[in-house]
Amino acid sequence: MKRRRLQLTKGHRLTLYAFSLILLLSGAAWAWMHRLDEAGGTNDAWRNLKPWLLRIHGLGAPFFVLLVGTLLPGHVRRSWHASKNRANGAFFLTTIALLTLSGYALYYLGDEEWRRFTSQFHLWLGLGAPLLLLAHVLIGRRATRARDS
């Protein structure tokens, strides 16, 4: 199969990167401000920003999931059938599913301990996700270039 058929279109790729960046920046900035807030190191202006960051994050999340869904019939299915980058792709998809489920759980978890655990799990997995995406792209490109069929 031609390599081009396994790749994302430029528009698709840029939209995906843009939404990933929105989620990463809004999530990381919220976590950073939250820590400062808990340590008593913020003022009202900063504190008022926090809910806005989560609103942006919470709005970006369904669009991101929608985008990932649009990759399934093309990029994921074709690469899977061509046996290119399968293990890495499945691992990356699982990471996204765990981020989505833990993000959803954050809305409804009442128990304080579980909420704290889920919040940390979601944050650290999210902070690690860009590295996983980078590895996915680099390893995937190597796989398709190895024998460009």
Q: Is the distance from CB of 35 to CB of 50 less than 8 angstroms? A: no
Site residues for ligand HEM, window 69-128 (CB under 6 A)?
71, 75-76, 79-80, 84-86, 89-90, 92-93, 96, 99-100, 103-104, 106-107, 119, 122-123, 126-127
Residue 119 CB, shortest distance to ligand HEM, in Å, is: 3
Q: What does the DSSP 8-state code read for residue 84? A: S
Site residues for ligand HEM, window 31-50 (CB under 6 A)?
31
Structure tokens, 60: 């970006």
Residue 41 CB, shortest distance to ligand HEM, in Å, is: 17
Within a 10 A sphere around the Cβ of 9, how many other Cβ atoms? 11
* Binding of ligand HEM by 53 (CB under 6 A): no
Q: Which of 58, 74, 109, 121 binds ligand HEM (CB under 6 A)?
A: 58
Mention every residue, 6+ apart, whose C-beta is less than 8 A from residue 30: 50, 53, 54, 57
CA distance 136 to 106: 27
Residue 74 CB, shortest distance to ligand HEM, in Å, is: 10
